[in-house]
A and B are shown apart, each in its own frame.
Chain A
Amino acid sequence: MTKATVYGDKELIQAIKNPHIDDAIIKYFYKNYFADASNYIRMNQGSTQDAEDIFQEVIVNFIEIVRNDKFRGDSAVKTFLYSLTRFTWLNELKKRARTLVREENYHKASDLEEKDISHFVTGREARATVNHIIDSLGEVCKKILMAFYFSELSFKEILPLVGYQNEQVLRNKKYKCLKSLEQEFAANPELARQFKNALMNGH
């Protein structure tokens, strides 16, 4: 059994800034920060599945915050993630419009640091909509675009993954897939604006 790596906050931040996140980092997030987040969500009307969904969202958000140099390091990663979880979950509750009380709590929420964090959860719906649009592109498009832009594979490496006969066919397909997605933004400028804001973490 391999011993799990222990990261200090600085090491963790540095590792996140790499273009490719190692799976070990993701595991580290779950092993060290998920229990608190999960407890909070489940104690506040959330289910285990809610905790899983929200925490996944929180990790993505945190990684993007760090990559955009928006994490100032004033608080520990653990504290920041917990606050981010709280705001994301309260935002979700607000979205579900379950209770007025929750909404009041959300607005009353706490100290300056937390108010500072609250803007990081803006644009959640835009992100969800965009993810839904990507899903609707179809499996082949997703595979090609992810392989190219996320995994940063070459066309040669992608070719066997999709079973195309030559690179030109693949290039054409990739072009169409990306253009489809671009057209979704072109057709919905408000979505594009909100999504852009979300990517910039509310700024």
Chain B
Amino acid sequence: MDTNETTEKLIRYINGELSGEELSALKKMLEDDQTARHELENLQLAKSAIRSYGLSSQIAEVRKNMLTDNDEQRPEQTGVYPFMRNLMKYAAIFLVVLACVGLYYYNITSTEKLYTKLYSPYQLNVSRDASGAESLSNSYQAGQYAKVITYFKEQRNPLNKQLFLAAQSYQKLKDFANAIKLYTELLNRKTENAEFHDDAEYFLALCYLETGQIERAEPLFKNISKDTDHLYHDQLSSWDMYKLKIIDWKKGN
């Protein structure tokens, strides 16, 4: 039997195509022929290799179709770890956005801007007062702040209102030192009449803010913010308090 013929027989054998005498003859030949036995073994290995390769190809094809058809949820979108990863991704995005917003407000927040937002000159109600106070009030209403101060200086025992309007006038004229002095004086008065007390507290805080004395402004603003009965409670938003905090940070306190 020549080599090709032997190989042909061996292939037919591994294909299960031999029977009867052909099969018996081949088995007998294999007993005597070591080379043929080796060839048979390698042919069987080749057959197994093809089957194994075929299985891999089938699996790869099925998987490819699964992914193409979107027949299943992608593994990256299932399970606890992917969920956590998504959660962390969104948390990271949120933190970055928060940091950007924080940085933006950190940069744009200043004492001047906060002061401008919170300050509006006191509007005096139209009323008739005692003569000295009336002249002072009239001047205040007329926007004659220097005159208000002149009238104020003439008073030996100024009323709370006169004291307050004079302080307002100083504040209007950007003389914050004197404004602070008069507001403080008003707040220190131990009288039963607490007239203009809340107003003085608020405007004093503003004077401190404008002059960069945040450490003094902050407790006053906090009091106003906490005290729901305070006349100026509604003037301050939580955001204003955050801005105050930012200004404080910027000052390095």
Contact = CB atoms under 8 A, between A and B. Distances in A.
Interface of A: 21, 23, 26-27, 30-31, 34-36, 38-39, 43, 48, 51-52, 56-57, 59-60, 63-64, 127, 130-131, 133-134, 142, 145-146, 149-151, 175, 178-179, 181-183, 185-186, 192, 195-196, 199
A146 B71 CA distance: 27
Contacts of B102: none
Consensus secondary structure, chain B interface: helix
Contacts of B7: 175, 179
A130 B66 CA distance: 27
Contacts of A133: 49
Given A23-B58, A175-B7, A199-B52, A38 B42 contact: no
A27 B51 CA distance: 19
B75 A196 contact: no
A183 to B, nearest CB: 8
Contacts of B72: 27, 30-31
Interface in B53-74: 53-60, 62-63, 66, 71-72
A60 B56 contact: yes
A43 B76 CA distance: 12
B62 A64 contact: no
Nearest to A147: B54
Nearest to B56: A60
Consensus secondary structure, chain A interface: helix
Interface residues of B, number: 35
B54 A149 contact: yes
Nearest to B61: A23
B11 interface: yes
A105 B81 CA distance: 22
Contact of A26 (B49, B59, B81): B59
A35 B76 CA distance: 8
Contacts of B8: 175
B59 A59 contact: yes
B50 interface: yes
B78 interface: yes
A89 B59 CA distance: 18
A27 B62 contact: yes
B78 A35 contact: yes
Contact of B11 (A131, A150, A175, A199): A175
Given A21-B58, A182-B42, A51 B75 contact: yes
B46 A146 contact: no
Interface string B117-160: 00000000000000000000000000000000000000000000
A40 to B, nearest CB: 10
B71 A181 contact: no
A60 B55 contact: yes
